[in-house]
Amino acid sequence: MAESDNYAIISDLHSNLEALTAVFEDIERRKIPVVHCLGDVVGYGPDPEECVDLVREKCASCVRGNHDDALFTGADRFHALAQAAIRFTRDRLRPRLLRGRRNTPRWEWLKELPLRKRQGEVLLVHGSPVDPVSEYVYHEDVYFNADSKLRRIFEHTDLVVFNGHTHLPGVITSEMETFVPNDENDTYHLDAGRKHIVNVGSVGQPRDRDPRACYLEVRGDRVVWHRVPYDFKKTAEKINRIPLLDEILGIRLSKGM
């Protein structure tokens, strides 16, 4: 297998340094040579600076997530907890006189994140090929929106699409079949004759009732989800010390929801 056929994809880090560090350590242990990021580097969590720095250092590419975007376009459509987290993050990252040297490169990097990235025959987005930043693609759409939303999405690409945004790992095919990984190292084979949307799951805020960080490894035509335990109690303690971050953001880490 060539190096270009083996890479990791991470998404929805949400300023969770403990989860991100554990995932990068797991990627290094597995000797996966390249890492791509699908955005939402920031938002919700307590360590935006460190997470931005790690992604800039270790990822070959990163696309823009809706929380990254909200730093510059506003968070009016977010719920109250997410809006407060964006205010906290913007205050921490926005360049100022005493923090300009450190924060300006971070701020400019986030501001310039692309909407999408083509990697060979693969499309990398945060949301969907139609709306790469904000559109959610759920497995339930197969049953409730198959004749409209999903068919519209599949009409916009002839590629395998890797996305995040929902924090829920799994696969949807153009034939409206679904696959949900239910075990560590669960593997799915990508059929070259079909279109796929593959959600890589969330590093920093899993929502599939498994608190372990989740990321995806691509091995040629196979994808493997890896789950990585981390010290979510430490992350929650940091959240509790920050007035703008509600304690529920720490509590949900322990529940994977």
Q: Which two tokens stand for residue 253?
A: 């880490």
Which residue's structure tokens are 């590093």? 203
Strands 187-189 and 222-228: antiparallel
Number of CB atoms found within 10 A of residue 21's CB: 18
What's the CATH code of the domain at 122?
Answer: 3.60.21.10
pLDDT at 2: 43
pLDDT tens, per residue, the chain with 257 residues? 344 689 999 999 999 999 999 999 999 999 999 999 999 999 999 999 999 999 999 999 999 999 999 999 999 999 999 999 999 999 999 998 766 678 999 999 999 999 999 988 899 999 999 999 999 999 999 988 666 899 999 998 888 999 999 999 999 999 999 999 987 778 999 998 899 999 999 999 999 999 999 999 999 999 999 999 999 999 999 999 999 999 999 999 999 99
Q: What is d(CA 142, CA 236) in angstroms, rounded to the nearest whole number? A: 35
pTM: 0.95
Q: What is d(CA 198, CA 163) in angstroms, rounded to the nearest whole number? A: 6
The torsion angle over the Cα atoms of residues 121, 30, 57 and 250, rounded to 10 degrees, is: 100
Element (H, E) at 116: strand 116-119
The count of structural domains within the chain is 1
The answer to whether the CB of 55 falls within 8 A of the CB of 62 is: yes
Q: What is d(CA 133, CA 59) in angstroms, rounded to the nearest whole number? A: 19
| Phi, psi of 153, deg, nearest 5 | -65, -45
| Phi, psi of 225, deg, nearest 5 | -90, 130
pLDDT at 1: 34
Q: Which two tokens stand for residue 92?
A: 């921490």
Q: How far is CA 156 from the centre of its chain?
A: 21
Q: Is 2 left (phi over 0), alpha (psi -120 to 50) or beta?
A: beta
What's 212's DSSP letter? S
pLDDT at 3: 46
What range does the domain containing 142 cover? 3-255
pLDDT at 182: 85
| Phi, psi of 249, deg, nearest 5 | -70, -25
| Phi, psi of 58, deg, nearest 5 | -110, -15
